[in-house]
Structure 1
Amino acid sequence: MTVNQRSVVITLGFCGLVSAADNWFVSPALPAIAQTLAVAPSVAAVVLTAYLVPYGMLQPVCGAIGDRVGRQRLLRVIVLGLAISTVVCAAAPTLETLVAARILTGCFAAGIISVSQALVGDVVPAEERAGAVGLLMGITFTGQGLSAGLGGLITDLVGWRAAFASFGVLGLLAWLCLLRLRGISEALPAVEEQRSPLGEARDFLERAACLFFRQGRAIYLTACSTGIIYLGVYGFMGTFLSERCGLSSTASGLLMMFYGVACLVGGTISGRIAARGGLLRVIQAGEASGLCAVIFLAASTLTGSWVPALGAAACLGLGYILVQPTLVSLSMDVDPSQTGLCTGLIGLGVFAGGGVGSVLGQIAIGAGGYLALWTCAGVALVAQTVIGTCALARRERA
């Protein structure tokens, strides 16, 4: 990549970092939120779902809007909305109010990653795309890991409300960086005949359904299972470390920072793995790393020690960052004329899957504790490795 291309990718990565950090610093802060609002930590986990579901559901919508009105223009609006709504979360007096504020935040944040990914596709040539998307997502999910440590520290020292306010300020900084971004040329579609809102909505749903269930079915269903497994497991690590290992919010957050470090490392090496063995090899390496994470978590559960959880956080981050951006790169070839919608559907699968994973995780914990959760995740990963990889391989050969 040229210096200008790398600058664009890093700036967009910072915006993605803010959107990821805005949700995942909440995980180690859940016990404190639950105590303040007088609910059980497992009940407070609905705060994660409240963000992830709209965050995932609206990604294809934002991607399609970006295709029509300009991706850089849309990013400036939604990043500002994310910053403001995050500050609003800091003032929520009840769990219900906080959930409503998190839904609003998730709506604004929904398009940041998908639109940024499509914008990278505009700026970086196809042969450099996998590495560029890997770098973008590595920076993004470094924020997910680092925010856990920073959010836990702020929660312990000042409180979870101050943590929300701090990440709102970080969102404003990302917005200012976007305003300074120059040198992006976007090819907007020709103006079409004006249609009714109902006709526009029907056309959008038809195009999205065709891409999701027909043209890119193997890619998008793999994205769904990735979200359920990886994000579902990560969302419960904060409460697990507090309840089973006895760690404070700060200690839990610092441990979970290994997730972010692994994401950054994985983002830098994914392109090299793809160059040597192809994109499917990258996905297989990520799924193997995810299985290692589940084994480490099971060991931590059985021993009550936080030490194996260090390896779990690193393996989970490495596994996720190898799988998700690779699926994004594959999706861009499903329909090159609609890259925003194509990448947005990956977000739909992954992050809506993460919301579903939070719900399923609560059920698994209620039925058999954390060991049951890790066991279910391990079985699901094996199934994804066998079924998903075979489906993707058939698609590549077709």
Structure 2
Amino acid sequence: MTTTVATPVATLPASSLRLLRTAGFVSNFDRFCIAPMLVLISLRLGAPLPTVVLAASGYYLSYGLMQPVWGMASDRWGRVWVMRVSLTGAALAALASALAPDAPVLIGARALAGAFFAASIAASLTYVGDTAPAATRQRPLSELMTAFALGTAVATVVAGALAHYLTWRLVFALPGVLAAYLAVALRRLPEPERPRSESLLAPFRVVLSSRWQWYVMAVAMLEGAVLLGFLTYLAPALEGHGVPTTLAGAVAALYGVGSMAAAQVVKRLVGQWSPVGLIVAGGVQMALAYLLAGYSQSTGALVVVALLLGGGWSFMHSTIQSWATALSPAARATGVAMFGVALYVGSALATGLAASTAQAHDYRPLFWLAALLTVPLTVVAAVGRARYR
């Protein structure tokens, strides 16, 4: 692999950032839209709910497994090339999902959609890493995080309503149409300079030889467990107290609102606060949120919890994500992809290990455990970032 590294430009053009935000929005919308529709799809297709759930789990599995594959492809053939190819495949898979005549076809189509949509977010983050200076990189990254959070929130709130009042097929068709548009529109996005890898696996070797890459991946795994893993149980905690499913989902979606609002604050603080300060501020918000959730699972309390967790995500995760883009400049896409894999693995582990406690509707100890784990997460992230040079 050559040692030439992309030279960041002073400012990422607004038109480029708009395309990257849209790609991330569509990817997150498609990823989170199926959960509110599972019961309805089961009824419409006449299939058992456990069978239809495979459409979601297959999506998440292929989404996670394809992260390093797309990362290596991006380092080998280019960021824009990977986004355009993957979005073309995503458009076809999403439209196949909308036209699925039965559960087996839907399961296969959703697995393919997950595999193709897996490239968008990591590639957009890598593109910013290639083109924005390190000192101000967190600002465009915060804008991307805002778009990602918006996609999550819109999917959580809108998908169920569209499926109920119109048809679930429309919910899958919409991201397919947008993905097709982006596959064409992204031809206007200039390909950034990047190191030329000698082989497909060369970026992987570069990433895994970095001590700091392993450290940040460990931080990401803990962050995924603490934030994303336990966040899963906000809506079930409300439903366990008799709150209707629709309202519980809307409260959980406020996490996206909190993330979007905090992202605007983070953009202004970048350059004024140190990365360590931003990490600690995010950790404090997360700890307070989980302490409150452990104390009370009332609707009002969990509204505040969701907003605080969204704020914690924007402060802490955008800072760690910015750090991750700087670790392996010669294999940036693969490094960012491996960071994502660690995040999703941590989330899956926490969700799975907590499932038995959640099944008994005993959410208080889960949230207190999350508050406790926030402390080592904040410490290791802040100390590591302070020592990194």
Q: Could you state the TM-score of these two structures normalised by the residue count of structure 2?
A: 0.84
Report the Cα offset of residue 98 of structure 1: 4.7
Quote how far apart the aligned CAs of 1:141 are.
1.6
Given candidates 329, 335, 349, the residue that maps to 1:342 is: 335
Q: What are the equivalent positions in structure 2 for 1:86-125 lying under 5 Å apart?
A: 86-90=94-98, 91=100, 93-94=102-103, 98-125=106-133
- What's 1:38 paired with? 48
Following TM superposition, by how much is the alpha carbon of 1:49 offset from its aligned partner in structure 2, in angstroms? Answer: 4.4
Higher relative contact order (CA 8 A, sep 6+): 1
| Map of 1:209 onto structure 2 | 208
State how 1:266-305 maps to structure 2 within 5 Å. Answer: 266-301=262-297, 305=298
Range with bigger deviation, 11-20 or 254-263:
254-263
**Contact 1:21-1:144 within 8 A present in 2 as well:** yes
Number of the residue aligned with 1:144:
152
Bigger shift: residues 335-344 or 372-381? 372-381
Q: CA 1:323/1:98 → structure 2, altered by over 3 Å: closer, same or farther?
A: farther
Equivalent residue, structure 2, for 1:186: 192
Query: CA 1:219/1:316 → structure 2, altered by over 3 Å: closer, same or farther?
Result: same
1:119 shift after superposition: 1.0
Q: Contact between 1:286 and 1:319, CA under 8 Å: does it hold in 2?
A: yes
Shift in alpha-carbon separation, 1:217–1:2, aligned structure 2, 3 A: closer
2:271 partner SS: helix
Residue deviations 1:348-385 (CA, integer Å, cap 9, x gap): 12123333333234233135633343233223223312
- Comparing 83-92 with 223-232, greater Cα deviation is found at 83-92
1:230 matches 2:230: no
Q: Which residue is equivalent to 2:259?
A: 263
* 8 A contact 2:75–2:196 mirrored in 1: no
Q: Which moved more, 1:266-275 or 1:223-232?
A: 266-275
* Percentage identity across paired residues of the two chains: 24
Supply the AA of the counterpart residue of 1:295: L
- Which AA in structure 2 matches 1:208? V
One-letter amino acid of the structure 2 residue matched with residue 81 of structure 1: G
TM-score by length of 1: 0.83
Letter in 1 for 2:254: F
Which deviates the most, 347-356 or 131-140?
A: 347-356
1:80 and 2:112 matched: no
Work out whether residues 300 and 307 of structure 1, in 8 Å CA contact, stay in contact via their aligned partners in 2.
Answer: no
Structure 1 position 279, deviation (Å): 0.9
Question: What is the RMSD computed on CA atoms of the aligned residues?
Answer: 3.0
1:191 shift after superposition = 7.1
Instruction: Tell me which residue corresponds to 2:5.
Output: none
CA distance in 2, matches of 1:51, 1:382: 32
Counterpart in 1 of 2:21? 13
1:310 to partner: Cα distance: 1.7
CA distance, structure 2, for counterparts of residue 335 and residue 353 of structure 1? 22
* Partner Cα distance (1:117, 1:126) in 2: 13
CA distance in structure 1 between the partners assigned to 2:269 and 2:172 by the alignment: 37
Does the Cα contact within 8 Å between 2:207 and 2:213 map onto a contact in 1? Answer: no
Is contact 1:152–1:253 with CA below 8 Å preserved after alignment? no
Return the offset for 1:289. Answer: 1.9
Deviations 1:7-48 (A, max 9, x none): 2112101100111111223343345456664337xx976655
Task: Write out aligned runs for 1:301-320 (5 A).
Answer: 301=297, 305-320=298-313
- Could you tell me which runs of 5 or more consecutive residues in structure 2 were left unpaired when the two chains were aligned: 1-8
Q: 1:188 to 1:209 in 2, by over 3 A?
A: closer
Counterpart of 1:219 in structure 2 is 216
Local SS of the residue matching 2:243: coil
- CA–CA distance in structure 2, aligned partners of residues 363 and 99 of structure 1: 26
Structure 1 counterpart of 2:48, which letter?
Answer: A
Number of the residue aligned with 1:22: 30
Once residues 233 and 88 of structure 1 are traced to their aligned partners in structure 2, the CA distance between those partners, rounded to angstroms, is 32
1:80/1:49 CA distance change after superposition, 3 Å: same
Contact 1:16–1:113 (8 Å) recurs in 2:
yes
Q: Secondary structure at the match of 1:58?
A: helix
Residue 293 and residue 26 in structure 1: after superposition, are their counterparts in 2 closer, same or farther (change >3 A)?
farther
State the partner residue of 2:383. Answer: 390
Deviation at 1:129, TM superposition (A): 0.9
